[in-house]
Amino acid sequence: MTIEAGQPLAGQPTSARQAGARRPLGGLGRVALGRAGRAALLATSRTPVPDALEPLVRVHREHHPQADLALLARAYRLAEASHRGQKRKSGEPYITHPLAVTMILAQLGAGTTTLVASLLHDTVEDTDLTLAQVGEGFGPEVAYLVDGVTKLEKVDFGAAAEAETFRKMLVATGDDVRVMVIKLADRLHNMRTIRHMKPASQVRIAKVTRDVLIPLAERLGIQVLKAELEDIVFATLHPEEHARTRALLAGHEAEPDTLLDPFARTLARQLTEAGVAAEVSVRPRHCVSLHRVLLKRAAAPGRDGRPQCPQPADFGRLLVVVEENADCYAVLGELHTCWTPLPGEFKDFVAAPKFNLYQSLHTAVALSGGEVVEVLVRTRRMHQVAETGVVALGDPRQPGANGADQGGDELDRTDPARPGWLSRLLEWQQETPDPDAFWSALTADLAGDREITVVTESGETLQLRAGASCVDAAYLLGEETGHRCIGARVNGRLTALSTVLQDGDRLAVLTEQGDPAARPSGPAPDWLAHARTPAARLAIERWLADHPARLPVVRTGPSAGQPAPPAHRAAERGAAPVAVAGRPGAPVRLARCCTPVPPDEVSGFAIRGGAVAVHRTGCPAGERMRADGRGVLEIHWQPDGAPASGYRATLRAEALNRPRLLADLTAAISGEGVGIVSAEVEPPQELRVRHTYTVELPEPAVLAAVMRAMLRVSGVYDVSRPHAPEGGGAPRTPAADAGPAAGNGDDPPAPAVRPSWGIHGRSAAFTGHREILPVRARGSEG
């Protein structure tokens, strides 16, 4: 329900305008008649678009009346011809997928170039069409977008393919944010059709969507897409809770609204009397939003000590849309004058936008009967950006986008091509070449779905993730500032560096005085316990590794609590671990799926870029490469060779579940002088549990000692080296990687997960937050 209040908004037709106020035909001059005739002639001579594109064209023209429809038609014909004969899991022709993805983007208001790239987004990955052919036919801009969303081949990258694909997409997004917009629309359609996947695949895909893509949609401000993804993930991972919430929503919708609708009409009348032009509407909550409200109700007992029941106001909020920024505050004044505002419920995101471009005034007022109603106030432009985020800002490559023609600051963090959070993410990802560490750091960084704003005493504004400490703020000001930091002052009071900052804090970072050219004292190892941002952690770890005098050095990797690898210098290594017959000097990559270590029997295969992938004999990934016709290269271990980062091995321990098993196993591994790179712990099944560790060996000969030390831990009855570092599922079969019909094939290998374990390994309500374990799990159970 939408109610208009006050005078018509600027740009809207009055009743006279709505009537048309047309001149009689005889009143038109010859020039006007000639122009009308030529326009009609041109309209009849337009190239017709394929019937399948008609619904898409109608939606696209609503946002872009001058769109190049011939370009869209040409892209569709090429996509349809390329995908002809391919089927999806549902049995539908594959072309229905790029069409549906493109319709989602058209509904968001994306430009023609984005829609063209969306129609072609799977052609390079799943058909014989090459990127060069796309560039020749549609230009380098479309080719860049298609390349950005094209997944890397698992046969080349093994278990690292998913992490490296996301790294590639994020780097491409740093130059053009439309890459990630297309990826999100692609995932939304795959989630809409997820029912055609196997139950275990549904859970795996839903978890990756929850942990990575929903936070990315939130950070890009695309709320309409994020809300639907959340509801589908909720239904997939918590079908029972979702069904109960949907039943509550259906029951509320079936009954007349006796609270929000009458209040909306009352507020509209009040604004009309005050002369404020506005539209007042009731904005229903989507399923996950209502579920979160119900959880808060259940956690806060009423006066009788019992959990509170759902209230009518829980099912929606009022949305007031005005024309000018000043009108937002005028509406707020009327609300707070005529009704009682609730202390602490007012938030001004108009003067201080959120990190994802969101702007609105939030308040809550108490009605005469004691009911509390939430109200959002925003302008039309704010509403558009709140719904579609960076898509509403237009094409970042077109002149005048993002207000550049209005003299806006080109470094402003609302730049659609480089949001502030993305700039920071791209900075630290360059310092994390290891795909396992990158994936863990990425999911940990995205788990903080809220950012805070801190202002320095010199007036500089810092954007940090919620939960960040003074250590994180110091390194955000610069690595040298962080190394020289000796203390902090928050809101005028001296405080510890471990202090967690709050939104709106005023901060001063205190640094050591003296010669700026002198070497700083540097961070202490315990700073890692207080660092929450990947950039700060990486800078501290780099300092500790480069200054071994501060032993013992603790290198934690991307998350706190992770045992430390040995303090060796990468520069001391670097000789090729294997020699390849006939290919001297060829780059060598030890496969992460089977982690070969001397003296394992190994096979070599040529991959992209002239490199050689080394797999253990019997590795399923290597056997697939052999079956695909890739020739096996003759290789042998170099006696004095070693990778720059040391040999890595994946070890699996089968044990009877007991308290402190994780601590004892990690202590046994560390006691052999071996560092743990990543760990996975599966939920116990029938009192048995499986732990999988990826370790970094100072020397290959240490591997046997590590396995014996793990086997000596009480409760452990078997230690083995799996062919793939998944958490316990069987190695992926070729059918799992088959063609475009496999749906979302870009997710990492993950253990077979029982749906009953819910969203975080327990039957619980959806919260949208990740659970932090003592050792950050690298797989989908993390």
DSSP letter, residue 297: H
Q: From the centroid of its chain, how far is CA 691? A: 27
The phi, psi pair for 662, rounded to 5°, reads: -60, -45
Positive or negative CA dihedral for 172, 173, 179, 185?
A: positive
HSE-up of residue 732 (Cα within 13 Å, Cβ side): 25
**Partners of 615 in the beta sheet?**
603
- The C-alpha atoms of residue 753 and residue 760 are separated, in whole angstroms, by 11
Q: How far apart are CA 181 and CA 213, in angstroms?
A: 10
- Rounded distance between C-alpha atoms, residue 721 and residue 575, angstroms: 25
| First and final C-alpha spacing in the chain | 42
Cis peptide before 599 (omega within 30 of 0): yes
Cα distances from 506 to residues 109, 284, 303, 458, 476, in angstroms, run: 39, 37, 38, 10, 15
Burial class (CB in 10 A: 0-12, 13-18, 19+), 82: buried
371 noted as active-site residue: no
Residue 767 CA to residue 53 CA, distance in Å, equals: 39
- 511 forms beta bridges with 485
Q: Which residue out of 126, 228, 231, 600 is catalytically annotated?
A: 126
Backbone CA torsion sign across 550, 552, 557, 561: negative
362-376 exposure pattern, b = at least 16 Cβ within 10 A, e = fewer: bbbbeeeeeeebbbb
**Closest among 446, 455, 461, 456 to 533, alpha carbons compared:** 446
The pairs formed by 323-329 with CB atoms below 8 angstroms and a separation of 24 or more are: 323/9, 323/10, 323/277, 323/379, 323/380, 324/379, 325/350, 325/379, 327/276, 327/277, 327/278, 327/379, 328/361, 328/377, 328/378, 328/379, 329/361
Query: Could you tell me which residues come within 8 angstroms of residue 66 by beta carbon, excluding any fewer than 6 positions away?
Result: none
126 counts as catalytic: yes
Task: Give CA–CA dist 653/711, Å, rounded.
Answer: 8
Residue 532 · residue 466 · CB < 8 Å = no
Of the residues 62, 80, 122, 125, only one is catalytic, namely: 125
Strand 485-490's sheet: what is its strand order? 461-465, 451-456, 506-511, 485-490, 493-495
Q: Outline where DSSP puts E strands in 307-395.
A: 316-322, 340-341, 347-348, 361-366, 372-379
Q: Which backbone phi and psi does 42 adopt, to 5 degrees?
A: -65, -35
Tell me the C-alpha to C-alpha distance, in Å, between residue 779 and each of 44, 580, 611. 57, 32, 27
Classify each residue of 494-517 as buried b or exposed e, where b means 16 or more C-beta atoms within 10 Å of its C-beta. Answer: ebebebebeeebebbbebeeeeee
Instruction: Report the run of H or E that residue 105 belongs to, with start and end.
Output: helix 96-108
Category of 655 on φ-ψ map: left (φ > 0), alpha (ψ -120 to 50) or beta: beta
Helices (H), 281-434: 287-299, 325-338, 380-388, 420-429
Give 310's DSSP letter. Answer: P
Q: Which strands form 612-616's sheet, in the order they lie side by side? A: 588-590, 612-616, 602-606, 632-633
Nearest-angstrom CA–CA distance, 67 and 56: 12
Known catalytic residues are 125-126
